[in-house]
Copies of this chain bind each other. A is one copy, B any other.
Amino acid sequence: MTDPNADSDGDANADELGEATVAGDDLDAVLAAVRERVTPDAAERERLEAAAADLAERVRAAVTDLPSPADDADVLTVGSTARGTWLAGDRDIDLFVRFPTDLSREELEQLGLRVGHAVLPDGEEEYAEHPYVVGTADGFDVDLVPCYDVDAATEIRSAVDRTPFHNEYLLDRLTDDLAGDVRVLKSFLKGIGVYGSNLRTRGFSGYLTELLVAEHGGARETLEAVADWHPPVRIDPEDHGTAEFDDPLVVVDPTDPERNVAAVLSGDNLARFQHHARDLLADPRTDPFFPAEPRPLDAAGVREHVRRRVTAPVAVAFDAPDLVDDQLYPQLRRSLAGVERELDGMGFDAIRAATFAAERGDDGGDRRAVLLVELAARRLPAVERHEGPPVHVRDHAAGFYDKYADDPNAYGPFVADGRYVVERERDPDERDGVAVLESERIFDAALGARVESALECGYDVLAGEELATLADEFGVDLREYFEPTV
């Protein structure tokens, strides 16, 4: 049951979590050490800048071959590479091609892909809001994304059109020193597992991290502010926010008063950030920034936890629908909630639940996914108490009595607390959590549409120690489930 970190300083010093002040120099020393480690050296910097410049040049060349007016599209490097906030070792370059707005969407997509393939001959097409080409060049992973050259972020035609404005905004504000602090904070968020605005992680995006550092004037200042936050927290750097949001953290986009940059951040990840920020302030050290690789839990470990908890975990394992994570995880979460609600409605008591999916293979498709619900007990009694109306409500009560008086499968009617009461026989399919999931009943649950069709193609139900068979594929997820930490 022990937290894998239990023997780290983290918990040994947890009793200081409540304190606000720490020996400044300890923390400064730690942050400096981290900064040193995550800041790319001159050589790396040059390599990347050279590669980016070279790519931009090739894109410009490709653009000139395009029919007018597309041929005066401009090219810019965006993202952490452009802003000098990438973490040492990252090898991503994001290039945007900004086309005139008088192109149709079809033209934009078609010409964008043409440029992409010209510049990245080995590139493949991916699809966000519209298709774009990803490939490699000089050993870097390159995204080449077409967008519209709009006058303001408020006039965007698709989400990617906003990126150049973010770039511009931050380039004006992120000094080299602040850029270094952004790297420090990014690596902290990565270390504690809440970095990334994809819908699997629901954490902090790079842009959000940069805005927080710019807003608070540094990594340390951000950590100290976060430790004391009382969500919902609203930050509006340009003080121009127009919309209301009910997200736990609202950071109004400086380039768009109607957008919350932290919209995908989950409340739990915000809470985790607060916890770990306090922990670091109370006990400054570098290991939260660079955690060890999570150790998968093996089959024996799973069996031991199941035996020790004396619960009845039931899992549905199936071939995940062929979706990118950003589409798959919301479907899995919705489906898990639906299954939990369904079981709860039948009288089962769920202690905890989780959903896992394997990494997506390059070929897409063919990865397994799991819906896990841990029940307090696998089986329910064969009888279920059902209370009728008070006996004195004559007609209504008589109707209830008549309904059950001759039912050979009901105990009663009898009188309790002035009401008619019967104990009905529970549907045999609804007495056993495993039987429920193995039967058609599972489709009564509100499942994500693609998960529902995936289950229609078949699935396995695992109960109790049978979960151990998931250890090969989901050992790390099972470690997180059975040895949960903040």
Most chain B beta carbons < 10 A, residue from A12, A231, A278, A381 = A381
Are B399 and A18 in contact, with the CB atoms below 8 A?
Answer: yes
Within 8 A of B (CB), among A359-409: 376-377, 379-383, 385, 390-392, 394-395, 397-399, 401-402, 405-406, 408-409
Are B309 and A391 in contact, with the CB atoms below 8 A?
Answer: no
**A482 vs chain B, min Cβ distance (A):** 8
**A257 vs chain B, min Cβ distance (A):** 26
Within 8 A of B (CB), among A462-485: 482-485
Binds B, one of A104-112, A147-155, A268-276, A284-292: A268-276
Q: How many residues of A contact B (CB 8 A)?
A: 71
When chains A and B are docked, how far (Å) is the Cα of A391 from the Cα of B382?
Answer: 41
A486: which B residues are within 8 A, CB to CB?
Answer: 401, 413-415, 420
The yes or no answer to A17 lying at the interface (CB within 8 A) is yes
Which of B18, B311, B380, B382 is in CB contact (< 8 Å) with A394?
A: B18
Are B268 and A415 in contact, with the CB atoms below 8 A?
Answer: yes
Which of B17, B406, B423 is in CB contact (< 8 Å) with A11?
A: B406
Most chain B beta carbons < 10 A, residue from A2, A395, A412, A415 = A415
The yes or no answer to A418 lying at the interface (CB within 8 A) is yes
Which of B3, B309, B413, B483 is in CB contact (< 8 Å) with A382?
A: B309
Interface string of A1-23 (1 = CB under 8 A from B): 11100100001101101100000
**A390 vs chain B, min Cβ distance (A):** 8
The yes or no answer to A411 lying at the interface (CB within 8 A) is yes
Which partner residue on chain B sits nearest A380 by CB separation? B376
When chains A and B are docked, how far (Å) is the Cα of A391 from the Cα of B419?
Answer: 44
Known contacts being A382-B309, A415-B268, is A391 close to B274, with CB within 8 Å?
yes
A274: which B residues are within 8 A, CB to CB?
Answer: 391-392
A1: which B residues are within 8 A, CB to CB?
Answer: 408-411, 425
**A123 vs chain B, min Cβ distance (A):** 40
A228: which B residues are within 8 A, CB to CB?
Answer: 394
**Shortest 10 CB-CB distances between A and B: which pairs?**
A18-B398, A414-B484, A17-B398, A271-B391, A310-B382, A11-B405, A14-B405, A311-B381, A18-B395, A15-B402
A sample of 17 cross-chain residue pairs with beta-carbon separation below 8 angstroms, ordered by A number, consists of: A1-B425, A14-B405, A15-B398, A17-B398, A18-B399, A227-B394, A231-B418, A248-B418, A271-B418, A278-B394, A309-B382, A311-B383, A351-B381, A352-B423, A411-B484, A413-B485, A420-B486
- CB within 8 Å of B: which residues of A? 1-3, 6, 11-12, 14-15, 17-18, 227-231, 248, 267-268, 270-272, 274-275, 278, 308-311, 351-352, 376-377, 379-383, 385, 390-392, 394-395, 397-399, 401-402, 405-406, 408-420, 423, 425, 431, 482-486
- Extra contacts besides A6-B408, A14-B405, A271-B392 (14): CB < 8 Å: A11-B406, A12-B406, A14-B402, A231-B392, A248-B418, A267-B417, A271-B390, A271-B419, A278-B394, A309-B383, A352-B385, A352-B423, A377-B381, A411-B484
